[in-house]
Amino acid sequence: MEEVISEGDDVLLYLSGDKRWLVKVKVDKKVHTHAGYIEGSNIIGKRYGEAVKSNLGRNFWLLKPTVEDYVLKCERKTQVVYPKDMGLIAAKTGLTSGSIVVEAGTGSGALTMFLANIVKPTGHVYSMELKEEFLDVARRNLKRSGLLDYVTLSLGDASQGFGVIDADVAVIDVGDPWRLVESAWRALKGAGKIVSISPTMNQVEKTYEALLRTGFVDVECVEVLVRSMQVKSGATRPSTRMIGHTAYLTFARKVFGDEKTLKEGDTESIGVVSDEEG
Ligand SMILES: C[S@@+](CC[C@H](N)C(=O)[O-])C[C@H]1O[C@@H](n2cnc3c(N)ncnc32)[C@H](O)[C@@H]1O
């Protein structure tokens, strides 16, 4: 069924390229842009997908915001995880509606929004953050995107524990992830997946060692590079600019091994899958 835009709905006003505004529609409010202003009353009653004209006669498309739009337009007080990395995190951790997730640190809540949008309506994200000021930012971002109901935010040091058991997935995005590996192991159910997000290789190596020591196998580390295409009839080619390095993603699965079986276990290099293995 077509959705008609009402007072209080979120709309992505799309002009062209990266000229786009994520707004909450209010009947008595104008949205000001460099291409003129748009009256809220002219948006209400239209369907998503229709256009509205600014006072300067420019066409703006009325689009329904996706979780990526909320992530890209969110208030940021910390480094945030990029959509290109979020996609692989979802695929490799097997996140699904109903999953229970523990997360540290919350930061601005960009990744939290993405996780909550997948696990809803029956799953839940328990997200822990050291600094109250960042929790406030994350709370605002989650509220704006309508996802706060699926998240419990708490203030604390996740290296001391998440206060959750039987989680399906643990997501770690802190500067010293190796210190949180034990807490994540305690929070996860058997075979539960962990992902650690780190910008530097020395963080990856320390985390890898902690994972093997603690009781994780199937450790894999990857970096995601995305190249946008400039599409033009007869002249399509890769864009000149691209996002370079953001983070390395390290994945593993929890097992119940004793010290001996763990030592005998996963000793191969991480992130290396030969072609023959298929
Ligand atoms: C890079 S930010 C996380 C960004 C977040 N993933 C996002 O997409 O918005 C790292 C956050 O981890 C928090 N942090 C660091 N150590 C922590 C710990 N031991 N427990 C909980 N949070 C921690 C920091 O305060 C910081 O806000």
Return the ligand 1 atom nearest residue 74 CA. Answer: 9
pLDDT score at 1: 81
From 71, 106, 162, the mutation candidate for ligand 1 (largest count of ligand atoms within 8 A of CB) is 106
Domain 10-65: give its CATH architecture: Roll (3.10)
Looking at residue 253, its amino acid is R
What tens-digit pLDDT sequence spans the chain (278 residues)? 889 999 999 999 999 988 999 999 999 999 999 999 999 999 999 999 999 999 999 999 999 999 999 999 999 999 999 999 999 999 999 999 999 999 999 999 999 999 999 999 999 999 999 999 999 999 999 999 999 999 999 999 999 999 999 999 999 999 999 999 999 999 999 999 999 999 999 999 999 999 999 999 999 999 999 999 999 999 999 999 888 899 999 999 999 977 777 776 555 545 544 455 44
What is the pTM assigned to this prediction? 0.93
pLDDT score at 270: 54
pLDDT score at 278: 44
- Ranges of each domain in the chain: 10-65, 69-271
Ligand 1 mean position, distance from CA 139 (Å): 14
Domains 10-65 and 69-271 share a fold: no
CB-based contacts of 99, cutoff 8 Å, min separation 6? 118, 119, 123, 168, 169
List the structure tokens of 111. Answer: 């990744």
Return the ligand 1 atom nearest residue 79 CA. Answer: 1
81 Cβ below 6 A of ligand 1: yes
Q: Is residue 188 within 8 Å of 180, Cβ to Cβ?
A: no
Ligand 1 mean position, distance from CA 105 (Å): 3
List the structure tokens of 252. Answer: 């593993």
Q: Is residue 224 within 8 Å of 81, Cβ to Cβ?
A: no
List the structure tokens of 35. Answer: 């291409």
Homologous superfamily, domain 69-271: Vaccinia Virus protein VP39 (3.40.50.150)
